[in-house]
Structure 1
Amino acid sequence: MTDNALSLFQLCDSNFPTGSFSHSFGLETYIQNDIVHNQETFSEWLKVYLHEQLAYADGLAARLIYQALEENDTEKIWELDRILTVQNLARESRDGTQRIGDRFLNISESIYEIPMLTNYRNQLRKKFAFGHPAIVFTMVGHHLQVPKETTILFYLYSTIASLVQNAVRAIPLGQTAGQKVIYTFQKELRQATDKIMHLDESEFGVVSPGLELSQMQHERVNIRIFSS
């Protein structure tokens, strides 16, 4: 792994302070309904989340944004920022993603000197953009000259690692069980990355209705430890 790739991998730490530990993105609904209750059922949920929502939303967006950065097409980036936000139908998940994106941008700006991050911040201040962690992550990966496929793989890993840590607290799982899930997901992550590299742009936003419904229903769960 190159030094630049290692620098990008720093952003994958589940303890990276973006506030993602406060969001389950619908997982807590499945836990409340006793559909997810152990390592096996969580792994099943996580596979669906990875392949049926994350790949078609954040993952495909990361690929398209990386391409737009290569072509210096900033208008395409702002367009993708808007689509990523408005197609996220669950209010809690939409708001949570924006908060994570804003925090991710703040921290990344403090670590790296990247003009595109400053440009993105200006768009947010003018209310011309919403903010999304996949966009910030991809901007950093492109600046560091980390290959597109590796950037996507690292972003998927960072999201999965964060959700595993949240599941460790919420189900609860043991820390060892959580690490086993992350280990077994290495193949899943590579498969998802390969799929993203071959998706057509017209497939952007084709996500599982069940996941979207669980994210909407989270507002009304009886007991909650997550914001979404």
Structure 2
Amino acid sequence: MQSAALIHLLQLASPSLPIGAYSYSQGLEVAIENGMVNNDGSARRWIVDQLRHVVAVFDAPILWRLLRAFAARDQQAVSDWTERFVAARDTFEFRAETIQMGYSLAKLVADLQIADASLLGILQSQAEIPLPTALACAAVALDVPHDAALLGMLFSLAENQVLVCVKSVPLGQVAGQRLLLSLRPELEACAQQAQQLTDDELSNWSPGLSLLSMQHEVQYSRLYRS
């Protein structure tokens, strides 16, 4: 990868990117509240299960398709996969999370003027902009290779989950970094699978996670928005 693309990727994957990712736990907070995640071992199992059974078979493959659609300036494909992703958010919090972060990143793309008119037009033509759509547009606009952009998204997701565990289980800082290092093979496998699945193989079937998300909506005390 060229140095410019690497720098752009690091910026997109940075926790300091002002889209509010730090304020969401994606159901993890209620799992901690219920005692399902209570140490480094259970934290790793949670993150690995999420990667294998949710992200690798739906979120990541859709991002991969959106990256290719934006690169081809295929507005219809972008709209189709955007609508499918939003429709698959089966709880109020999961839907609000991706729309809020997508809106923030899309606004950032426009404010920074990093996308050409065709890319920006496709992005802004969407009725709703979830995070994968905005991220794909930003990555293509910044000439980040598709496989690198996919890994960057996966790492950001895993890093955010680890940070939730560090703050809320709680895990120590060293334990958190050890956990993040141990996830490398899982992240690579997830990225590889995302690029190989056919459209008919995609699935967001994760009823346990959906139920936890619904519980979080009425959780008495919480730090995170999902």
Q: TM-score, normalised by structure 1?
A: 0.90
In structure 2, distance between residues paired with 1:206 and 1:96: 16
Alpha-carbon distance, 1:47 to partner: 0.5
Q: Residues 117 and 31 of structure 1: is their aligned pair in 2 closer, same or farther, counting only changes over 3 Å?
A: farther
- Output the CA distance in 2 between the equivalents of 1:225 and 1:18: 17
Q: CA deviation at 1:112?
A: 4.4
For 2:119 and 2:216, the matched residues in 1 are separated by 32
Q: How far does residue 65 in structure 1 lie from its aligned partner after superposition?
A: 1.0
In the other structure, the counterpart of 2:5 is 4
Find 2:221's aligned residue among 204, 215, 223. 223
- TM-superposed deviation, 1:97: 1.3
RMSD: 1.8
Corresponding residue to 1:177 among 175, 178, 182: 175
Q: One-letter code of the match for 2:87?
A: V
Q: Tell whether the 8 Å contact from 1:117 to 1:136 is kept in structure 2 after alignment.
A: no
Tell me if the contact between 2:66 and 2:81 (Cα under 8 Å) persists in the aligned partners: yes
The letter for the 2-side match of 1:63 is: W
Unaligned runs of 5+ residues in structure 2 are: none
For 2:159, the aligned partner's letter is A
- The one-letter amino acid of 1:185's match is L
Q: Which residue number corresponds to residue 167 of structure 1?
A: 165
Query: Which residue pairs with 2:138 in the alignment?
Result: 140
| 2:121 maps to which of 119, 122, 126 | 119
Deviation at 1:138, TM superposition (A): 1.5
Distance 1:194 1:121, change over 3 A: closer
Q: Structure 1 residues 80-89 or 162-171, which shifts more?
A: 162-171
Deviations 1:129-150 (A, max 9, x none): 2112212222222233332222
Shift of 1:120: 4.7
The answer to whether structure 1 residue 61 and structure 2 residue 58 are counterparts is: no
Q: What is the letter of the counterpart of residue 186 of structure 1?
A: R
1:153 to 151, 171, 179: 151
CA distance in 2, matches of 1:27, 1:63: 25
SS in 2 for 1:217: helix
Aligned 8 A contact 1:56 1:207 in 2: no
Task: Give the 5 Å matches for 1:20-35.
Answer: 20-35=21-36
The code of the aligned residue for 1:22 comes to S
**How far, CA to CA, are the matches of 1:112 and 1:178 in structure 2?**
36
CA displacement at 1:121 relative to structure 2: 5.3
Q: Unpaired runs of 5+ in structure 1? A: none
Question: Which residue of the partner structure matches residue 94 of structure 1?
Answer: 95
Question: Which among 197, 200, 206 is matched to residue 198 of structure 2?
Answer: 200
Measure the CA separation in 1 of the matches of 2:220 and 2:99.
25
Query: Which stretch has the larger CA shift, 160-169 or 186-195?
Result: 160-169
Q: How many residues align?
A: 224
Q: Which amino acid aligns with 1:218?
A: H
Amino acid at match of 2:121: N
Compute the displacement of 1:170 (Å): 1.7
Per-residue deviation, 1:114: 0.1
